């Protein structure tokens, strides 16, 4: 079959473990997050050196904080559209303004919900602009998504490899809502060192039938698994997922973005 990629079968684990790293302090702009994560790996029992079936998952919030991807709301002058939307739906007009500035395209703006496509191509509520959990004295600061989350992941990966000699793939994760389903789940917004999609098309399933349309969003599942250990209140923003089957490669989160011509929900 011409359209079936010839891929090495993945290992099949049966058992994984997710370990949140210990000792990550409050992150501030300019902090060397990759080195902080290396220190946290060393501080977490059994985490250093990492294993070659580990994947590191790092939450967007600390990446954005370290990179200074944030905006002081006091400096923001909202446009009339932002003021109108904010007044109607009891939101902060300055935050709405930041979301609109970060947007390449507004997908929906209704019911108090603002769904945009960011410059990266992510479609999500509020363009990833987030007011909660940005630090004790940060009433008027919102975080933005990192400018290049793949590169952010790559810097963590490089620091871990240098410290340990192990090439650990890294995922930057964020919490996204979904159409038709309530609640948020963590997904990948940046990757380094693994393919975020596992194309199983053409691999036979265990009955020997050929699976024609199974592309597994493995990076998103790894991000969700990691989230189960984070704990909103305890503030554990990084976890190791051990033992999962993944395919190494220089994948990009862009691989996960639905091309416009296949997008039925623009």
In the bound complex, what is the minimum distance in angstroms from residue 151's beta carbon to its own copies? 20
| Cβ closest to its own copies, residue 96 vs residue 155 | 96
Considering the complex, what minimum distance in angstroms separates the CB of residue 162 from its own copies? 26
Of 24 and 63, CB closest to its own copies:
24
Inter-axis angle of helices 93-102 and 80-89, to 10 degrees? 130
Q: Which contiguous run of DSSP H or E holds residue 153?
A: helix 149-164
Q: What single-letter DSSP state applies at residue 41?
A: H
Distance of CA 148 to the CA centre of its chain: 11
Is residue 164 within 8 A of residue 41, CB to CB? The reply is yes
Measured from the CB atom, the residue of 124 and 155 that comes closer to its own copies is: 124
- β-strand 215-216 against 123-125: which pairing, if any? unpaired
Q: How far is the CB of 77 from its own copies (least distance, A)?
A: 24
Residue 15 or 74 with smaller CB distance to its own copies: 15
For residue 239, what are its two tokens? Answer: 């976890």
Indicate the residue among 18 and 33 with the shorter CB distance to its own copies: 18
Distance of CA 239 to the CA centre of its chain: 13
CB distance 189 to 119 below 8 Å: no
CB of 26 to its own copies, least distance (A): 8
CA 93 to chain CA mean position, Å: 26
Q: Give Cβ neighbours of residue 69 (< 8 Å, ≥ 6 apart).
A: 63, 143, 144, 145, 146, 147
- Based on CB atoms, which residue is closest to its own copies, 98 or 155? 98
* Three-state secondary structure call for residue 242: strand
Smallest separation, CB 18 to its own copies (Å): 5
* Closest distance of CB 240 from its own copies, Å: 10
Distance CA(85)–CA(112), nearest Å, equals 7
Written as one string, the DSSP assignment of 50-102 is: PPTTEEEEEEHHHHHHHTT-EEEGGG----HHHHHHHHHHT--HHHHHHHHHH
Q: What's the closest the beta carbon of residue 224 comes to its own copies, in angstroms?
A: 4
Shorter beta-carbon distance to its own copies: residue 107 or 158: 107
Considering the complex, what minimum distance in angstroms separates the CB of residue 202 from its own copies? 12
CB nearer to its own copies: give 162 or 254: 254
């Amino acid at each position: 079959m011409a359209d079936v990629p010839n891929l090495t079968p993945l290992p099949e684990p049966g058992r994984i473990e997710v370990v949140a790293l210990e000792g990550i302090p409050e992150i501030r702009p300019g902090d060397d997050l990759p080195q902080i994560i290396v220190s946290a790996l060393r501080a977490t029992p059994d985490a250093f050196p990492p294993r070659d079936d580990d994947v590191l998952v790092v939450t967007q919030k600390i990446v954005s904080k370290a990179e200074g991807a944030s905006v002081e709301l006091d400096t923001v002058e909202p446009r009339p559209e932002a003021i109108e939307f904010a007044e109607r739906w009891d939101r902060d007009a300055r935050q709405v303004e930041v979301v609109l500035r970060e947007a390449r395209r507004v997908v929906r703006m209704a019911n108090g919900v603002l769904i945009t496509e960011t410059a990266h191509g992510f479609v999500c509520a509020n363009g990833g602009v987030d007011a909660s959990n940005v630090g004790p004295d940060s009433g008027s600061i919102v975080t933005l998504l990192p400018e290049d989350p793949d590169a952010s992941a790559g810097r963590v990966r490089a620091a871990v490899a240098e410290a340990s000699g192990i090439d650990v793939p890294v995922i930057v994760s964020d919490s996204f809502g979904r159409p038709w389903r309530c609640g948020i789940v963590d997904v990948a917004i940046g990757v380094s060192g693994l393919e975020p999609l596992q194309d199983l098309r053409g691999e036979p399933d265990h009955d020997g039938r050929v699976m024609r349309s199974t592309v597994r969003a493995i990076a998103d599942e790894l991000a969700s698994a990691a989230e189960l250990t984070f704990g909103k209140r305890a503030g554990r923003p990084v976890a190791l997922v051990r033992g999962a089957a993944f395919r190494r490669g220089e994948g990009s989160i862009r691989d996960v973005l639905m091309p416009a011509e296949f997008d039925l929900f623009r």
